[in-house]
Chains A and B, each alone.
Chain A
């Protein structure tokens, strides 16, 4: 795992009377423990990967509380896990990234929701919408509405988040319905404090097991004919029960003055952005002391019609601040107003955009339009600010004269996936372009320069399946790329089994880097069992062979020439069915985290260590940068030339180089230029090393060459560079 939470995990043991300080995700974890969950699980994905990391690293504590922890192979497995709450009074929580994870979980979610639960069931989703999102822009709200699952969208501050977790379980039990708690990225990472309470132990758990299974009860199955009964129960009993609970427990908040002729209804998660702009208008302050009636929906599904109607009753108009489309909430409020025969004017997507993130500027524009329409002069302050922001940006743009180049994420220094794309790029020069189905994972960075390849991305582990019809309609055999994460998540069945079943003429490259690295280096079934990891070392190659893939090759991913040759073979092979290449190379993030401290220790202890890194000879480099176009490694960069005859910057390897060897491989494979050299730095050389070095130096000098000083003195450098 990329991030260590060992220090923070101690805060999970806090009890009543203590104040918890920490990140949003940690607060959620603490709230789960305070709610007496019996089981937890999930699948990693930003921004809730950390939740799973924390749970794994807190395994001891979970064990003490008897909590069953499962690292699920995908979100469908996680959702299915909640089935324990259908028959048993067990509270359980699972987590994943939405919307993509919710899509994967949809089948289990529908069936879970239809049967209903007796133990509180909660799904904590990272609502990855807007800024920095790595997925399609859709809302979890749609699933809540269509499957009758309640959706909590708490105000992004720790006490409210914690309260909504705790109340969410009670809501789930009061209405026999699973609930989703959604957290946007900034809420996941917000640091704050709340008053802790004691952790609760579930009555039944991994340590206090049920002696007997639940009795047979057909009504608990989502199977006809009871699904029709369940459908009616959702409407007739569960929904009213939920609304009553929400109302009685005041899960939604009405802030600001009692009276006022206009008001705002806002999703809980959007409250802070709104408050910031209200403060700008002079209608609030840093403490949320709002001067305009505001109804905060910490529960965005279901709405409570009486609450909405009561809030709107004495108002001329309300503004609904609801990020993203479609306008589920605004439409429903419209219906509520109509049913209540209120003529309060409804605004929302008429002044705010239907699509895109509600950033401060966007909210300010909408708020200003709303306020000015009702004669509020605070609008002027917002307009003034927005105009200043726009004028500023334009002024800077003018001074810059050209747009700033983007900086998309790229493969880390030494990443084992980059060489494969170098090989693909080199092969493309021979064969011309081939159709490439890309996938979710770090390897999707190959869609950015300098590789710029990939024709489609259909979902996690879906590349091979997405090439099914392409492979049958292209003269040139298409390529699919997939990570080992995607392979276990979905690709094994959806892709490989399907491709063998249909004898698709496709080539699949599986990146076996050992983890789901893009989400923060979590274990997958094929991860090597080590340390506190959960890997069991499942073998991808035997899995493929057992499915009947006849053509499987495993290639060390840094061997660019061999990879190019193997790709060439795969694209030209007469073998029918899928051809699979396993590109084998461990994630450098994980590897460096292990290797660096070990090396630093060894050097400090005076043991012999050989460090390898690459170097570009500036005198030989011609400044064409073909090496960079084939690599894109962050540590392979440029620096000013010192040669007056060559003004172009020369290629340069900086000290972040981990010596993966790609530079050398590429310069060999592409016959680039002889400016690359590998440096081997022998730390704490032994007597034999020193003897050989001295001998070589003496001989070189004898033949008129230059060599290192023959008697190096052994003083250490004044400041060792820290390993961290």
Chain B
């Protein structure tokens, strides 16, 4: 009952990352070194991108032959008793840490600073991502030593797989009584992708020894200070970058006159009580986005930019000499097409189609932007920019913008905090087709059921800003609008019942 404790290693990986191969290399290297090693795993449905773990225990062989004979591997890792935790993804590593598979008294943690987002995070209608800094801080705080880095980038730079880099990092950490050559032998014995795996191993080894985390992230370069137009002197310093960005966007989108309209709209709020830098910055941001609404003309224009081609080639991993074609998926329906007509004509055309039940019809188009035929079609569409001011869509969007600005104006007069929230609900409107319709619907609902009643004095003044905020957050919860309905209902239910009846 006094034999040495085993050294325990836990690997937390996602399906298809080669965690099993990594565990195999470690065990093989340990056995070759004359240690006793056993390992097991929970692969389960790991291939299907679930989380998975591998567990190893390593004992000096010299002790073998004691007791009833062979060592008894615990099969399950025990919280607080893990010497090395290897994690390939930050959230899963944090999950392991929470269970106790990393503790400040003993665990050397080798972690990849990388996020593979969960479906819940990805599917959010806004930004559903967890704060990676918080995860990283926890992983560091609850381990004895944390060797964290962008090992994925190191693997990519080495043209290797992540698991080989992790093996190198483990070797370099010196936590296990196994010299690097044993690991190299284990890789060679694997007889699969030996060259690239050895490259990855060396890169990982270097990382652990030098703490070098691959290419340093480029420092954020300060944008060159542009000459600020005189009109901007009306605004606090903090709002200027966003106003500048908005102006640039609109100059690209339409013309100088349109930028002037933007400036004019903003001026309405300059110097108003409560319209501080943060307020104006957010207003400038959303106003610019709404003014640069994405009609068919804009989409065509965006698809013709030069930067795009570079980006595509880089992301496709295309090497020089290879040809990359970009085939656009577009499916304009009657609304997208006919809203390019002048309002009177467009409304008649749309009413005609709706009457016949043809309004759900649309044309699926695959346009190859990198070939002349596709290019010229996009170019023709984009050249309609000058016509834009005469279209139904333009008229419609401008009317909406005026309506929204008017609401902000009225709210600002009574409650600056609430006005901030009325600015924010403008951001609910975005996108194309159904997304755009849903945004408008949510916006209209919040205005009709919260903002207007509040302005009319039906809502206690202190509750105004919170009510708009809660409604906006609820609108982002589910696309069906269930949470929004529920939030509005409970808002009114919390007030006097007679008010509810009046609704």
* Chain A residues at the B interface, C-beta cutoff of 8 Å: 2, 21, 46, 131-132, 134, 156-157, 159, 185-187, 189-192, 255, 271-273, 275-277, 279-280, 282-289, 291, 359-361, 385, 388-389, 392-393, 396-397, 399-401, 404-413, 442, 445, 448-450, 518, 520, 589, 613, 615, 617-620, 622-626, 628-629, 632, 634, 636-638, 644-649, 655, 663-664, 667-668, 670-674, 676-685, 689-690, 692-693, 695-696, 699-700, 703-708, 712-722, 724
Q: Which residues of B lie under 8 Å from residue A681 when comparing CB positions?
A: 316-318, 322-324
Q: Which residue of B lies closest to A282 (CB)?
A: B1
Report if A712-B138 is in contact (Cβ < 8 Å); known contacts: A404-B98, A409-B50, A705-B304: no
> What are the interface flags for B62-75 relative to A under an 8 Å C-beta threshold, 1 for contact and 0 otherwise?
01101111111111
Task: Assess whether B118 is in contact with A407, with CB atoms less than 8 Å apart.
Answer: yes
Q: Which residue of B lies closest to A445 (CB)?
A: B48
> What are the interface flags for B124-158 relative to A under an 8 Å C-beta threshold, 1 for contact and 0 otherwise?
11110110001001100110000000000000001
Q: Which residues of A lie under 8 Å from residue B312 when comparing CB positions?
A: 615, 677, 679
Which chain B residues numbered 109 to 135 have a C-beta less than 8 Å away from chain A? 116-127, 129-130, 134
Report if A448-B48 is in contact (Cβ < 8 Å); known contacts: A157-B70, A361-B79, A682-B322: no
| Known interface pairs A273-B74, A276-B72, A404-B95; 4 further A-B residue pairs with C-beta atoms within 8 A, sorted by A's residue number | A620-B299, A622-B294, A629-B479, A671-B432
Q: Which residues of B lie under 8 Å from residue A134 when comparing CB positions?
A: 44-45
B245 interface contact, C-beta 8 A: yes
Pick from B46, B119, B249: contact of A450, CB below 8 A.
B119
Task: Assess whether A287 is in contact with B70, with CB atoms less than 8 Å apart.
Answer: yes
Closest CB in chain A relative to B133 CB, distance in Å: 12
Q: Which residues of A lie under 8 Å from residue B73 when comparing CB positions?
A: 156-157, 190, 192, 272
Give the one of B75, B76, B94, B299 with max A CB within 10 A: B75
In the complex, A80 Cα to B68 Cα: how many Å?
40
Q: Which residue of A lies closest to B137 (CB)?
A: A399
Task: Assess whether A622 is in contact with B331, with CB atoms less than 8 Å apart.
Answer: no
Which chain B residues numbered 1 to 22 have a C-beta less than 8 Å away from chain A? 1-6, 14-15
Task: Assess whether A724 is in contact with B192, with CB atoms less than 8 Å apart.
Answer: yes
Pick from A276, A706, A716: contact of B78, CB below 8 A.
A276
Q: List 6 A-B contacts (CB under 8 A).
A: A396-B94, A407-B91, A619-B305, A619-B308, A703-B376, A706-B309
Task: Assess whether B432 is in contact with A683, with CB atoms less than 8 Å apart.
Answer: no
In the complex, A432 Cα to B334 Cα: how many Å?
25
Task: Assess whether B435 is in contact with A393, with CB atoms less than 8 Å apart.
Answer: no
Pick from A401, A613, A715: contact of B321, CB below 8 A.
A715
B99 interface contact, C-beta 8 A: yes
Pick from B94, B317, B371: contact of A404, CB below 8 A.
B94
Stretch with Cβ within 8 A of A (4 or more), from B34-42, B256-264, B398-406, B407-415? B34-42
Task: Assess whether A679 is in contact with B158, with CB atoms less than 8 Å apart.
Answer: no
Closest CB in chain B relative to A441 CB, distance in Å: 11
B319 interface contact, C-beta 8 A: yes
Report if A286-B71 is in contact (Cβ < 8 Å); known contacts: A189-B43, A396-B98, A396-B138: yes
Closest CB in chain B relative to A419 CB, distance in Å: 15
Task: Assess whether A191 is in contact with B40, with CB atoms less than 8 Å apart.
Answer: yes
In the complex, A648 Cα to B69 Cα: how many Å?
60
Task: Assess whether A389 is in contact with B433, with CB atoms less than 8 Å apart.
Answer: no
Closest CB in chain B relative to A264 CB, distance in Å: 14
Task: Assess whether A673 is in contact with B1, with CB atoms less than 8 Å apart.
Answer: no
Task: Assess whether B79 is in contact with A625, with CB atoms less than 8 Å apart.
Answer: no
Give the one of A655, A695, A722 with max B CB within 10 A: A722
Closest CB in chain A relative to B200 CB, distance in Å: 10
Pick from A186, A613, A679: contact of B40, CB below 8 A.
A186
Report if A719-B42 is in contact (Cβ < 8 Å); known contacts: A288-B67, A695-B372, A706-B306: no
Q: Which residue of B lies closest to A518 (CB)?
A: B45
Task: Assess whether B134 is in contact with A400, with CB atoms less than 8 Å apart.
Answer: yes
Task: Assess whether B127 is in contact with A412, with CB atoms less than 8 Å apart.
Answer: no
Report if A674-B117 is in contact (Cβ < 8 Å); known contacts: A272-B74, A389-B79, A405-B130: no
Q: Which residues of A lie under 8 Å from residue B196 when comparing CB positions?
A: 719, 722
Q: Which residue of B lies closest to A364 (CB)?
A: B78
Report if A722-B159 is in contact (Cβ < 8 Å); known contacts: A360-B78, A638-B117, A677-B328: yes
In the complex, A716 Cα to B321 Cα: how many Å?
8
Q: Which residues of A lie under 8 Å from residue B311 when comparing CB positions?
A: 618
Q: Which residues of A lie under 8 Å from residue B353 when comparing CB positions?
A: none
Q: Which residues of A lie under 8 Å from residue B80 when comparing CB positions?
A: 385, 388-389, 392
B389 interface contact, C-beta 8 A: no
In the complex, A679 Cα to B117 Cα: how many Å?
24
In the complex, A361 Cα to B306 Cα: how many Å?
59
B325 interface contact, C-beta 8 A: yes
Task: Assess whether B50 is in contact with A674, with CB atoms less than 8 Å apart.
Answer: no
In the complex, A277 Cα to B299 Cα: how many Å?
64
In the complex, A571 Cα to B371 Cα: how many Å?
42
Task: Assess whether A706 is in contact with B305, with CB atoms less than 8 Å apart.
Answer: yes
Number of A-B contacts (CB under 8 A): 384
Q: Which residues of B lie under 8 Å from residue A288 when comparing CB positions?
A: 67-68, 71-72
Task: Assess whether B50 is in contact with A411, with CB atoms less than 8 Å apart.
Answer: no
Report if A400-B94 is in contact (Cβ < 8 Å); known contacts: A392-B80, A629-B123: yes
> What are the interface flags for B23-36 relative to A under an 8 Å C-beta threshold, 1 for contact and 0 otherwise?
01001000100000
Which chain B residues numbered 49 to 98 have a C-beta less than 8 Å away from chain A? 49-51, 57, 59, 63-64, 66-81, 91-92, 94-95, 97-98
Report if A397-B98 is in contact (Cβ < 8 Å); known contacts: A191-B27, A361-B79: yes
B327 interface contact, C-beta 8 A: yes
Q: Which residues of B lie under 8 Å from residue A646 when comparing CB positions?
A: 289
B242 interface contact, C-beta 8 A: yes
In the complex, A220 Cα to B145 Cα: how many Å?
67
Closest CB in chain A relative to B317 CB, distance in Å: 6
Report if A617-B302 is in contact (Cβ < 8 Å); known contacts: A392-B80, A622-B431, A679-B312: yes
Closest CB in chain A relative to B478 CB, distance in Å: 9
In the complex, A359 Cα to B434 Cα: how many Å?
49
B364 interface contact, C-beta 8 A: yes
Task: Assess whether B315 is in contact with A615, with CB atoms less than 8 Å apart.
Answer: yes
Closest CB in chain B relative to A3 CB, distance in Å: 9
Task: Assess whether A644 is in contact with B241, with CB atoms less than 8 Å apart.
Answer: yes
Pick from A389, A400, A407, A674: contact of B138, CB below 8 A.
A400
Q: Which residues of A lie under 8 Å from residue B4 when comparing CB positions?
A: 286
Report if A644-B431 is in contact (Cβ < 8 Å); known contacts: A396-B142, A705-B379: no
Q: Which residues of B lie under 8 Å from residue A187 when comparing CB positions?
A: 40, 75
Task: Assess whether B325 is in contact with A679, with CB atoms less than 8 Å apart.
Answer: yes
Q: Which residues of B lie under 8 Å from residue A704 when comparing CB positions?
A: 379
Q: Which residue of A lies closest to B157 (CB)?
A: A719
Q: Which residue of B lies closest to A671 (CB)?
A: B433
B246 interface contact, C-beta 8 A: yes
Task: Assess whether A392 is in contact with B138, with CB atoms less than 8 Å apart.
Answer: no
In the complex, A510 Cα to B371 Cα: how many Å?
40
In the complex, A640 Cα to B79 Cα: how many Å?
35
Report if A674-B329 is in contact (Cβ < 8 Å); known contacts: A400-B94, A648-B126: yes
Q: Which residue of A lies closest to B330 (CB)?
A: A674
Task: Assess whether B117 is in contact with A286, with CB atoms less than 8 Å apart.
Answer: no
In the complex, A702 Cα to B149 Cα: how many Å?
47
Task: Assess whether A624 is in contact with B40, with CB atoms less than 8 Å apart.
Answer: no
Q: Which residues of A lie under 8 Å from residue B472 when comparing CB positions?
A: none
Q: Which residues of B lie under 8 Å from residue A719 when comparing CB positions?
A: 158-159, 196, 199
Task: Assess whether B70 is in contact with A699, with CB atoms less than 8 Å apart.
Answer: no
Task: Assess whether A671 is in contact with B331, with CB atoms less than 8 Å apart.
Answer: yes
Q: Which residue of A lies closest to B292 (CB)?
A: A645
Q: Which residue of A lies closest to B65 (CB)?
A: A287
Q: Which residues of B lie under 8 Å from residue A400 when comparing CB positions?
A: 94, 98, 134, 138
Q: Which residues of A lie under 8 Å from residue B70 when comparing CB positions?
A: 157, 159, 287
Task: Assess whether A287 is in contact with B71, with CB atoms less than 8 Å apart.
Answer: yes
B184 interface contact, C-beta 8 A: no
Q: Which residues of A lie under 8 Å from residue B328 when comparing CB positions?
A: 674, 676-677
In the complex, A314 Cα to B268 Cα: how many Å?
94
Q: Which residues of A lie under 8 Å from residue B315 when comparing CB positions?
A: 615, 655, 679
Task: Assess whether A649 is in contact with B75, with CB atoms less than 8 Å apart.
Answer: no
B492 interface contact, C-beta 8 A: no
Closest CB in chain A relative to B193 CB, distance in Å: 4
